[in-house]
Amino acid sequence: MSKLKTIREQRNLTQEELASKSGISARTIQRIESGTTPKGYTLKTLAAALEITPEVLLEDHPSEKGVIDIRLAKLINLSSLLLVFLPLGSVLVPLAIMFFTKQFNALTKQIVSLQIFWTIISAILIVLSGIVKKWVNWDNNVTMVVIVLVLLANVYFILRNTAEIDKNGKLHICLKFSII
């Protein structure tokens, strides 16, 4: 069975419904499901209509784990904003959504890994600002400034990545490794 057919059936769409939703002819969809590899505009349009990345349609072996639901990826990323002011809040909520929706793919793992990494870096920066403040006799507001800058940076990362997920189905700011 072709990757397109597998995903189309998972979304409970007929070929005609997918054709209507994507603007690609039903005959083209039939050819792709019969083994033709989609390219260029057709590939991007079908991926957008199915709310997945184009790479997923090009994978050789269909698997549930490979399907990236763009809406859920954006939700997982944006959920980090809800508790950005609470320690570990920006990690626990996305992690819970990822597990409950069974979105164990590279994109969602990278989203959670980035939040874990940024939480660790934030804690280190805040502690260092307190230490440096004592050594250099800086104003008491230095730690507060560092906290605000760390929070603003995290909000920027989340919003920038959400825009990139929406536009290209990938992250703009990501790690070269995965923590989970």
Tally Cβ neighbours within 10 Å of residue 119. Answer: 19
| pLDDT (0 to 100) of residue 28 | 93
Q: What is the pTM of this model?
A: 0.62
What pLDDT shows up at residue 1? 60
Which tens digit of pLDDT belongs to each residue from 73-85? 999 999 988 777 7
Domains of the chain: 3-66 (1.10.260.40), 70-168 (no CATH)
pLDDT higher than threshold 50 for residue 62: no
The C-alpha atoms of residue 107 and residue 38 are separated, in whole angstroms, by 22
Residue 177: per-residue pLDDT:
85
Query: From CA 153, how far away is CA 81, in angstroms rounded?
Result: 12
Q: pLDDT at position 67, please? A: 64
Nearest to 165 by CA among 177, 155, 175, 174: 174
The residues, any chain, with a CB within 8 Å of residue 112's CB and separated by 6 or more, are: 76, 91, 94, 95, 98, 179, 180
Please give the Cα distance from 169 to 4 (Å, whole number): 17
Q: Which residues lie closer than 8 Å to 173 by C-beta, 6 or more apart?
A: 114, 157, 160, 161
Ramachandran area for residue 51 (φ above 0: left; ψ -120 to 50: alpha; else beta):
left
